[in-house]
Structure 1
Amino acid sequence: MAGFPVHDPLFLAVAAVAVLAIGISKSGFSGGIGVLAVPVMALFVSPLTAAAIMLPILCVMDVLSVWAYRRRWHRRNLLLLLPGACVGLALGALTFRYVDDAVIRLLLGAVTLGFGLQAFAAAGQAGEVRAGKAATGVACGALSGFTSFIAHAGGPPAKFFLLRQHLDKTVFVGTNVVFFFLINQAKILPYAWLGQFSRDNLMTSLLLAPLAPLGIWLGLRLHHRVPQDAFYRVSYLLMILAGVKLLLDGGLDVIFR
């Protein structure tokens, strides 16, 4: 246990900043930088270990966020996203040890960056609230469930589906919050089955978990202070940053493997 990064001050400092940033992003802007947590922590531990450390912390954040956004979520969108997500989670559990992370990151990064750039460029245009297509919701749910299981990177596909509907910003975040609360709860048993909850992993999660409420609180404060137009611009910008990060991670993995 002496070599485990829980004893490394630099690892703990970097992980603490990541946890705070994810909490702010999750409760304030419905994620976007959540995909950065596993790659950043993977500088010190394996991606599988980083994902296992983050899951209990994400579950704590989810409970706090669901309470904050209770009754402020879109029922139809959840019903469209969840069936596909169940399929994606099952596929992720079965291929967890064999999937090529680099290819997944490259594909997801390209889609995320493309949509983020297009949406950010058009953010100043007036948009009417419109219902999402059922097929798109199921497909985005499946991709979200799969990438969430592999690397907690399920945010971009869900946002791709929801942002185009121009929902009220609070309903948008609340729908994401409830969706990922259910997703992360569903990941607990498969992660345990795969042996990811070791004593060292859980100890690291326990050390970092107290930062979760602070991040959620800061995110909620920002959410209520940022106007809706600016909120959507920030959300699109976070998608762009997430897409760039995914492309860089995937490209570097391919080059240096």
Structure 2
Amino acid sequence: MTLDVTFFLFAVPAVLFAGISKGGFGSGAAFAATPFLALILTPGQAVGLMLPLLMLMDVTALRPYWKKWDWTSARNLMIGSVPGVALGAALYGIANPDVFKLMIGALAVGFVAFQIGRKRGWIRPARQPMGRAAGMLAGMAAGFTSFISHAGGPPAAVYLLSKPLSKTAYQGTTVLVFWAINLMKFIPYFALGIFSKETALANVFLAPVAFAGVYLGVYAHRLLPERIFFGVTYVFLVCTGTKLIVDALS
């Protein structure tokens, strides 16, 4: 990984985008940074670069959403995420890098399909709030997809959308859950050699961008509609996800 002009032309908007989403504007779309970075980096470099920055964003976002989460839902998701993270670590240790490029691309396109299905009513929240077992299963899926591509949002959303949560409580719960999941991922990432001196140096340069993105997201969460943001996100994810899939298969 070379920290040149091309790198920063991709990395700065990717990290800013992720920060805005982590701050509560376009919730769940923060993982779009990973497929974007995977266009110029290996899958391992992309997820390794993003994890420390996502952890900084989590800490920054915790303050405005402090204790505004639903603790029962968050606890179920966090407990379930433990085996999901472990499964992701086990797979990473044995799989070919192209497998992860394919999975990142598939998750990007799948995220768009999930969001469109939800908006059009093809995917509807459960009529009754999901119970503890369903929450832990969703947490397991969130932990696994988060380990692979920082893409745990959709499984968690399926569970949380069955709950009568306000927009702010939903976002607060999401922030807490992925703060915990990202902490869990740090040690396996380190043990698997996903971090490097280059990613650490890049994190130093990109940390201010991460902080700025979160504060912009908190501001936008309170004042602005999300339709345009999501529209751009969907087009962007379909294009990058499709390219990653084609590259992996070829």
Normalising by the smaller structure, the TM-score range is 0.7 to 0.9
Q: Tell me if the contact between 1:108 and 1:246 (Cα under 8 Å) persists in the aligned partners.
A: no
CA separation of 1:54/1:105 partners in 2, compared to 1, >3 Å: closer, same or farther?
closer
Counting only pairs closer than 5 Å after superposition, residues 3-152 of structure 1 correspond to structure 2 as: 4-6=1-3, 8-29=4-25, 31-99=27-95, 100-101=99-100, 104-105=103-104, 108=107, 112-122=111-121, 131-152=129-150
After superposition, the CA RMSD in angstroms is: 2.9
**Secondary structure, aligned partner of 1:39:** helix
- Alignment correspondent of 1:179: 177
CA separation of 1:246/1:14 partners in 2, compared to 1, >3 Å: closer, same or farther?
closer
- Alignment correspondent of 1:158: 156
- Alignment correspondent of 1:251: 245
Letter in 2 for 1:117: I
Distance across 2 between alignment mates of 1:171 and 1:253: 39
Distance across 1 between alignment mates of 2:184 and 2:216: 27
**Secondary structure, aligned partner of 1:29:** coil
Q: Tell me if the contact between 1:20 and 1:212 (Cα under 8 Å) persists in the aligned partners.
A: yes
CA separation of 1:122/1:180 partners in 2, compared to 1, >3 Å: closer, same or farther?
same
**Secondary structure, aligned partner of 2:63:** helix
Residue 204 of structure 1: how far off its partner (Å): 0.9
Distance across 1 between alignment mates of 2:197 and 2:176: 29
Letter in 2 for 1:252: V
Q: Tell me if the contact between 2:109 and 2:237 (Cα under 8 Å) persists in the aligned partners.
A: yes
Residue 50 of structure 1: how far off its partner (Å): 1.2
Q: Tell me if the contact between 1:116 and 1:239 (Cα under 8 Å) persists in the aligned partners.
A: no
Uncovered stretches (5+) of structure 1, i.e. residues with no partner: none
Q: Tell me if the contact between 2:19 and 2:212 (Cα under 8 Å) persists in the aligned partners.
A: yes
What is the count of residue pairs matched by the alignment? 246
Uncovered stretches (5+) of structure 2, i.e. residues with no partner: none
Instruction: After superposing the two structures, state which structure 1 stretch, 79-88 or 233-242, moved more.
Output: 233-242
- Identity fraction in percent: 33
Distance across 2 between alignment mates of 1:106 and 1:40: 10
1:214 alignment partner, one of 212, 215, 232: 212
The two structures have a TM-score, normalised by structure 2, of 0.85
